[in-house]
């Protein structure tokens, strides 16, 4: 762990020095400043300024007006990543790369049709850069503050800008590339845009819970110097393979559930997958089940959780059925034999739903709240 206090060093960097070695490798990142600066790291989402915003940056520079301060993170010996200022830097780089033109005195110009003095001014314009260095936790804390004003990074993107190294590069190869292996493996079950680091974040959240860690930064801090992210990738594959084994038939409502969490809680239990398959089908056809995506956790926990029925949002009795039962019982609770007002009673299944009873008028009785609360069969 790096225990050095955080420092923020101001530095003026000429545009011509930033443009040195500028290369856009697409998904593999955008680099400049003689290869020492990642304007956008590999497999990180691309922010996109429209032409008007990009042109505004060029006009600001050509007039010699100040741009807002930019932040670079020091990630190694003379190696940096842009934390804030990505779009402003890219606008200038793209202009110098002949990618768009700006209007000057009513005339459209690419960089090479600028008057010489303007071109010189542009190349010698200085970015005001703050270079940040320090322990990971300090940087992360501070980046959150910086991020309020700048191009918004998600929490996971912020963590990625702090816990850099071999581990992160490998993790991003698995989880953050467009069409990455994690996306292909889990797309039917887990929602998340790899490029916005959402899959990586979900896998990390899952493995932290699995290992009893308090948050993602704890895991990333412990593993940032690992040679690869095999442990995380293995865990994620285990989760998906477990889902496919326990619930062999796919239903569209499986997508978006917190499968990592379900795996963490239930994977040590034994389940019979053909029983599970039949139950999933039966519950989808049950008219009293109102929440289909609760079926899976219900089946995983029903043997041990007396309240598992809540996961299915089971249909409750209509008021008219309860009023009819109340009047038929003359307001008497069949369990304690006392008389109650209608408002003091609750509708109850005579034959419980879990024993095959349905939410139909003939299966409705009214119990006083005390007796209903004491029932051992909760649904």
Distance of CA 2 to the CA centre of its chain: 27
Please, what is the Cα angle at 313 between 312 and 315, to 5 degrees? 115
371 binds Zn ion (CB under 5 A): yes
Q: Which stretch, 18-26, 198-206, 262-270, 369-377, contacts Zn ion (CB under 5 A)?
A: 369-377
Identify the sign of the CA torsion 147, 150, 156, 158.
Answer: negative
Contacts of 204 (CB under 8 A, 6+ apart): 156, 216, 219, 220, 232
Q: Using CB under 5 A, which of the segments 75-83, 231-239, 301-309, 360-368 binds Zn ion?
A: 360-368
Nearest approach, Cβ of residue 278 and Zn ion (Å): 37
Distance (Å, whole) CA 313 – CA 360: 16
**Which one, of 350, 344, 347, 352, lies nearest residue 378 by Cα?**
352
- Which residue number, 8 or 336, has a Cβ lying nearer to Zn ion? 336
- Told to check if 140 binds Zn ion by CB under 5 A, we report no
335 binds Zn ion (CB under 5 A): yes
User: Which residue lies nearer to Zn ion by CB, 129 or 367?
Assistant: 367
Burial of 261 (0-12, 13-18, 19+ CB in 10 A): middle
Q: Least distance to Zn ion from the beta carbon of 375, Å?
A: 10
Burial of 76: CB neighbours in 10 Å, binned 0-12, 13-18, 19+: exposed
Q: Can you list the alpha helix ranges (DSSP code H) found in the chain? A: 15-19, 51-62, 86-96, 116-124, 136-146, 155-162, 166-175, 181-186, 198-211, 216-223, 230-246, 259-266, 273-285, 295-301, 319-328, 369-374
Site stretch for Zn ion (CB under 5 A), options 33-41, 73-81, 273-281, 366-374 = 366-374
Residue 373 is a binding residue for Zn ion (CB under 5 A): no
Q: Looking at 58, 333, 345, 366, which residue binds Zn ion (CB under 5 A)?
A: 333
Nearest CB to Zn ion, comparing residues 272 and 338: 338
Using the contact rule CB under 5 A, the part of the chain among 20-28, 193-201, 320-328, 365-373 near Zn ion is: 365-373
Tell me which residue has tokens 């992160």. Answer: 168
Q: Which range of residues in 103-111, 240-248, 268-276, 368-376 is near Zn ion by CB under 5 A?
A: 368-376
Q: Which of 8, 12, 336, 373 binds Zn ion (CB under 5 A)?
A: 336
Nearer to Zn ion, 34 or 334 (CB): 334
366 touching Zn ion, by CB under 5 A: no
Q: Which stretch binds Zn ion (CB under 5 A): 87-95, 289-297, 342-350, 371-379?
A: 371-379
* Span 88-107, contacts to Zn ion by CB under 5 A: none
Query: Is 368 one of the binding residues for Zn ion (CB under 5 A)?
Result: yes
Question: Within positions 246 to 275, which residues make up the interface with Zn ion, using CB under 5 A?
Answer: none
Distance between the two ends of the chain, CA-based, in angstroms? 52
Total binding residues toward Zn ion, as defined by CB under 5 A: 5
- Shortest reach from residue 307's CB to Zn ion, in Å: 21
- Diameter of the chain measured on Cα atoms: 100
- Residue 316: CB minimum distance to Zn ion, A: 19
Q: How far apart are CA 81 and CA 63, in angstroms?
A: 27
Which of residues 67 and 335 has its CB atom nearest to Zn ion in the complex?
A: 335
**Number of residues that make up the chain:** 379
> Could you list the residues that contact Zn ion (CB under 5 A)?
333, 335-336, 368, 371
């Amino acid at each position: 762990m790096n225990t050095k206090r955080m420092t923020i060093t101001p530095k003026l960097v000429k545009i011509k020095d930033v443009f040195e070695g500028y290369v856009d490798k697409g998904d593999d990142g955008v680099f400049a400043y003689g290869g020492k600066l990642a304007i956008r790291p590999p497999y990180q989402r691309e922010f996109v300024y429209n032409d008007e915003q990009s042109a505004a940056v060029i006009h600001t520079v050509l007039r010699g007006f100040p741009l807002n301060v930019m932040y670079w993170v020091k990630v190694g010996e003379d190696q940096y990543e842009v934390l804030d200022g990505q779009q402003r830097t890219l606008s200038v780089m793209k202009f110098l790369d002949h990618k768009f033109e700006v209007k000057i005195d009513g005339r459209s110009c690419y960089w090479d049709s600028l008057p010489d003095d303007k071109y010189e001014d542009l190349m010698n314009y200085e970015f005001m850069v703050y270079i940040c260095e320090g322990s990971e936790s300090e940087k992360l804390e501070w980046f959150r503050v910086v991020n309020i004003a700048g191009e918004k990074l998600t929490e996971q993107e912020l963590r990625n800008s702090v816990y850099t190294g071999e581990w992160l590069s490998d993790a991003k190869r698995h989880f953050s590339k467009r069409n990455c292996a994690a996306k292909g493996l889990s797309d039917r079950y887990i929602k998340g845009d790899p490029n916005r680091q959402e899959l990586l974040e979900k896998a990390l959240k899952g493995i932290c819970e699995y290992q009893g860690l308090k948050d993602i930064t704890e895991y990333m801090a412990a593993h940032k110097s690992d040679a690869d992210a095999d442990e995380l990738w293995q865990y994620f594959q285990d989760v998906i393979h477990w889902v496919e084994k326990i619930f062999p038939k796919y239903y569209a409502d499986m997508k978006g559930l917190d499968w990592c969490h379900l795996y963490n809680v239930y994977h040590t239990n034994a389940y019979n997958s053909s029983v599970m398959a039949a139950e999933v089908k039966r519950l989808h056809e049950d008219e009293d089940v109102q929440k289909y995506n609760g079926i899976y956790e219900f089946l995983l926990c029903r043997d041990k959780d007396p309240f598992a029925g809540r996961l299915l949002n089971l249909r409750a009795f209509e008021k008219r059925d309860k009023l009819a039962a109340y009047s038929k019982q003359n307001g008497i609770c069949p369990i304690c034999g006392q008389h109650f007002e209608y408002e003091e009673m609750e509708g109850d299944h005579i034959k419980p739903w879990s024993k095959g009873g349905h939410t139909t008028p003939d299966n409705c009785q009214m119990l006083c709240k005390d007796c209903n609360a004491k029932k051992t069969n909760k649904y």
